[in-house]
Structure formats: structure tokens, C-alpha cells
Structure 1
Amino acid sequence: MTTFNLEAFKGIIVAMYACYDEQGEIHPEGVKQLVRHYIRKGVKGLYVGGSSGEGMLQTTEERKLVLESVMEAAGEELTIIAHVGAPSTRESVELAKHAESVGAHAISAVPSIYYRLSPDSVENHWQAMIDSTSLPFIIYHIPQTTGFQLSKSLLSKMAKQDKVIGVKISSESTYELQQFKEAGGEHFLVLNGPDEQYLAGRSIGADGGIGGTYGVMPELFLKIEDCFQKGQMEEARAWQYRVNEIINELLSYPSLYGACKSILRLQGVDCGEARKPLLPVETGDLHRISLLANKIDQYTEQATGSALKA
């Protein structure tokens, strides 16, 4: 049985966006502003350096600077999970050790990218990170981008280690989520990845969620979670439908992250543009983005003010 406080990792954890200045360099003050923004919103924690954080588009030193800035601003107010996955095991271990040195609460990683690796290779890759620190480790399963399909047998094997506390599952199958929960055991965390099925994931066994679109509408995910915990499933579904309405619009842009950053800018937090090859929102679409931001504001007011009738 794990010796870690698993409750710290349950609930709404925002997959934090990257913050750049006008020259496209890491903007530490922007990172801190964004962290303080999420503290005010009341989320459980932040997942730093993952897909939404553009970690794979940053150098090792840039990723370290981002995490250092996050930790400086977050203090003990948020649970911080540092994504340390990188193309090489050496680089991943370096990031893992750095995460521990600055006080992150857990590390997480995807399999190595580009090469199509065997299960043994992925296991060895993850094990090197696990062995390099005393921090808990969360597997990141996102086969649509890594090309690696995590098996129940490998997950079950790794879950037997005390430091392997859970999996962030971003595949689109809630059946697979349930199977991973079963394979991991009673005290193994399963964190829902696809934002559009947050409620479905929670309903079938997820302990919480980590998501990128949480960042522009955290109040709506907090509302879904609140309704779920109170057993108000009809209302929870109504809020998930509205979240999905927003996600569908965000996905209509060339880059989800570019669209989210444009929304966040209108909400008062400027993170700069997404790093290329991710594309920004085109000038001709800024009016449409403004309308979407207004819709999010309206739903947020409803979520934080009065109950929405399904």
C-alpha cells in the first residue's frame, strides 16, 4: 500500500500552458501570473510541461526554468506534477532530479517519442526516472501522440511499485480507463485525460482529471466535479454538454493551444503565442474567439452563481 498522500492528486488539475514573451522566450513572470490565476480559481493543482505546456518544444533548461517559476509562485497552495518525459532517458532523468530538487510533488512521463519502442524499452525508460528520485510517479498514457499502447500487464507490473501511484489516461476509451483502474488496484490513481469525457471518466472510476481546456474554464470543470460528488448527475451532464460545446469550438482552430492562449489573453492573462509549429489564431478569427470567450464568461457566471437547470 502506498505511503504517499493520494488525496493531493484527486480532483481538478490544470495542464498548464507555456508562457512566452514577445520574442518567444520563456517568460518567468508570465508563468507566475498564470499560477496565481489558477490559485484564485480554486483548482487542486497543475500539471507542468506536458502537451499543453509545450514541453516537447522546449529545451531542458527552458523546462527547468518553467518549473522553477511555477514552484516559486505556487508555494504549498497547489499540487504540482512535473512532466519530465523527453526523447532520451538521460534527459528525462535529469528533469526528474531537477523536479525533486525544486519541490515538485510528483513526476510524470510519456514514453520516449519518435522511435517505436518495445514494452521493455518503455519500462526501462520509466524505471530510470522512478529510480532517480524519491517522488511518486504517474504514468502518462497518450497513444495517439506517442504511438505506444500501454498494456494492462505492463501497467499492473509497474503499479506494484510503491512509487508508481497512478496513470494519466488520455486515450478516448472509458473502457480502457476502467480496465486500468482494475489492473492498478484499489489504491492506484487513474486520472482522466480527455476533457470532453470528464464526467464519463469519473463515473466509471477515474479519481479526477488533468486537462488542457480546464485552463480557460476551470470553474466549469469544478462545477461538474461538485455536481458529481453530490450525486447531481443530471446537472453534471448539463455542464459537461456545455464544456463540450466550448471544446468543439476550440478544436475548430488550427491549434487548440493557440486558441486557448487567445481566450486566456482576453481573460486577462497573456501567455504569448504558442511555439511553432503550433499555430496562433489568425487575425480574421479574433472576433470569433472573442464571442467564444464571452460564452465561457456567461457559463462561468452561471456555474459560480446559480445552478443550471438541465
Structure 2
Amino acid sequence: MIHGIIPAMVTPITEDQRINHSVTVQLTRELLGKGAAGLFILGTNGEFHMLTTEEKVAFTKTVATEVDGAVPLIVGAGSNSTKEVIELSKVLKEAGADVLSIITPYFIQPTQDELIDHYRAIAKAVELPLLMYNIPKKTGVTLEPETVCELAKEKNIVGIKDSSGQFELIENYLRVTAEEEFVVLAGTDSLILDTLEAGGTGAVAATANIVPSVVNNIYEYWKQGERDKARQAQEKLAPIRALFSKGTIPAVIKKALEVQGIKVGAPIHPIRDVSQEVEEQLRQVLSKHWQK
């Protein structure tokens, strides 16, 4: 079962906008060393939409080599066409993925029946476990609870990461899949504890790139029944998350890692680096919350 805190890992980039494999190794080791229960790569924060298939495969191979089976490696294989997702899924499986994250098609806004067709076709063609990814603010389409209920019956569709920011939707996903072996993961960092208390198994967290110890504490304290401490850890994320709006995804996260000495580079163009003012704000927040 996929559980615990899983960093939504960024993709380190060189000055000439190529994948930085040496820093990728550094970041992977850092996150694993801080207790990551898995790694989620090539998601929104991983700039999957900016990378070629060749770059995705090369990046997956580098991370998979470092992970070496220690934790589940969840790799984003989403795209608009069903055919492309299937083709990409197969090469990412060979590159070392353990689980494939499949974001809903974006821009085209398919119907719920079309989403069911899409995911079923992928599940039939790909042997790995599949994790659905719901992020309607970016895609323009929501995986409705009834759709998730239907797809949860597929043997290798094992769960969903929800980044809608709507706790009611998470509750409904949990309700309609209660009879299935199916995981529901928070994809909005402010809802990690609420999701755990409602029956979710963990979170794919952007902030776990930056303050992994703080985010891990939410899960560990919750698991130990220390609800007040878990809530305190959850609240510690607020000042960091408040800065996310100061730049286009994933500019703020990348700068936060740079401030901490992990030179992941700037976002992929045309996204700009954050301003010096935002960098200073990050330094001030991290000096209070980051645990080395």
C-alpha cells in the first residue's frame, strides 16, 4: 500500500536548461535520508509538461538507480491522448517506475465517460499499478466520485492523488471506494492531516522537498495518536505555502532548495526565477522552520 509522506520531487535543471543528473542524485539521497515513504517524480512540480520523452526516461533512470527499490517510485506518465500515455507508460516502466501517476487529460476537458474509457484503456495496456491524479485547477476537468468508484474496480488502478483543494471531494473518494483496495492521497499540503483523519493513507507533498522533517512529523505524530502535535506540524507549513503564490510553479520550491544548498536550478523557460525580495522572504521563513 502507498502510504506516508511522499515528496512531489522537483526536476533539477542546469544553466543551459538540461536535466542536472548529479543534483538529481543529491536531492534523491537527501529526501530518502529524511524519511520519504516514496518519491513522486514528473508531476506538476516536476515540470513534466516541459520535458521530452527522452528527458523523462533519463530522469526516471537516474532516480530509480538511487532509490534501488527502497521506497515506491511513482512516475508521472500523463498526457492528453490515451495512445501517448500508454506508450510513455511502457518506456517509464522499463526505466524503473514502480507506480505510474496518470493525470487527467488537460485542455480538452473530456466527459466522465471519456475519462473512464481513457483510464480503463491504460489499465488494460500497462502492467504497473496506476495512481490517478486529479488537479482540476490546472486541467479544467474533475474526476468525479462516481467515476473514481467505477475505476477503482480495475485491478491495477490502485488509488488517486487529489490536488483539488476540496476536502469534501477527498471525503467522497474515500466513501465510494471504501470496499476496494484503494488509496486516497492528499495532494494539497494544507489537507494532509485532515485526509489522514478521514481515512487517507498519506500525501504527495510539495513542501516535503523543502521541509521534509516537518511534513513527516504530521504523519508520524498522527500515526502515534499525538493529534495536537500532528496539528502543530501541519500548521508549520502555512508560512511556507503562503509564499508559493509569489512565483509560477515550481519557482518558489526550487528557490527554497537553492537557499538550502541544493542547486536544483531555475524553472524551465519561459517560467522565471523568483525575485530577490521573495528569496529573502524564503530565507526568513526557512530559518524558523527548516530542520537540518
TM, length-normalised to structure 1: 0.89
- Equivalent position of 1:119 in the other structure: 112
Looking at structure 2, the residues matched to 263 and 49 of structure 1 have their Cα atoms a distance apart, in angstroms, of: 19
Find 2:163's aligned residue among 161, 166, 170: 170
Looking at structure 2, the residues matched to 273 and 233 of structure 1 have their Cα atoms a distance apart, in angstroms, of: 37
Deviation at 1:158, TM superposition (A): 0.8
What runs of 5+ residues in structure 1 fail to find an aligned partner? 1-5, 302-310
Find 1:43's aligned residue among 31, 36, 48: 36
For residue 147 of structure 2, what is the amino acid of its counterpart? L
Q: Does 1:273 align with 2:266?
A: yes
Q: Is 128-137 or 200-209 further displaced after alignment?
A: 128-137
Q: Deviations over 1:116-155 (max 9, x none)?
A: 2112222222223222221111111111111112122211
Looking at structure 1, the residues matched to 188 and 213 of structure 2 have their Cα atoms a distance apart, in angstroms, of: 17
Structure 1 pair 131–265 and aligned structure 2 pair: CA distance change class (3 A): same
* 1:64–1:98 contact (8 Å) kept in structure 2: yes
Q: How many residues align?
A: 291
Q: Does 1:237 align with 2:231?
A: yes
Q: Does 1:195 align with 2:189?
A: yes
- Equivalent position of 1:308 in the other structure: none
Deviation at 1:84, TM superposition (A): 0.3
Looking at structure 2, the residues matched to 199 and 246 of structure 1 have their Cα atoms a distance apart, in angstroms, of: 17
Q: Does 1:220 align with 2:220?
A: no
Deviation at 1:40, TM superposition (A): 1.0
For residue 114 of structure 1, what is the amino acid of its counterpart? F
Looking at structure 1, the residues matched to 147 and 176 of structure 2 have their Cα atoms a distance apart, in angstroms, of: 9
- Equivalent position of 2:55 in the other structure: 62
Find 1:207's aligned residue among 201, 217, 222: 201
Q: Does 1:84 align with 2:77?
A: yes
For residue 9 of structure 2, what is the amino acid of its counterpart? M
Q: Deviations over 1:175-206 (max 9, x none)?
A: 21111012112421000111012111111121
Deviation at 1:285, TM superposition (A): 3.4
Percentage of pairs with the same residue: 26
Q: Does 1:149 align with 2:142?
A: yes
For residue 97 of structure 2, what is the amino acid of its counterpart? A
Looking at structure 2, the residues matched to 127 and 34 of structure 1 have their Cα atoms a distance apart, in angstroms, of: 34
Find 2:90's aligned residue among 79, 93, 97: 97
| Matched residue SS, 2:154 | coil
Looking at structure 2, the residues matched to 173 and 288 of structure 1 have their Cα atoms a distance apart, in angstroms, of: 28
Looking at structure 1, the residues matched to 143 and 278 of structure 2 have their Cα atoms a distance apart, in angstroms, of: 38
| Matched residue SS, 2:5 | strand
Deviation at 1:278, TM superposition (A): 2.6
For residue 168 of structure 1, what is the amino acid of its counterpart? K
Q: Deviations over 1:78-117 (max 9, x none)?
A: 2101110012222211221012212311111111111121
Structure 1 pair 117–37 and aligned structure 2 pair: CA distance change class (3 A): same
Looking at structure 2, the residues matched to 43 and 259 of structure 1 have their Cα atoms a distance apart, in angstroms, of: 21
Find 1:260's aligned residue among 253, 260, 263: 253
For residue 141 of structure 1, what is the amino acid of its counterpart? N
Looking at structure 2, the residues matched to 73 and 164 of structure 1 have their Cα atoms a distance apart, in angstroms, of: 26
Q: Deviations over 1:147-167 (max 9, x none)?
A: 112122211111111111111
* 1:83–1:107 contact (8 Å) kept in structure 2: yes
Q: Deviations over 1:194-237 (max 9, x none)?
A: 10121111111211000112110110111111111111111211
* 1:137–1:165 contact (8 Å) kept in structure 2: yes
Q: Deviations over 1:43-92 (max 9, x none)?
A: 11111111010001111221111111111111112210111001222221
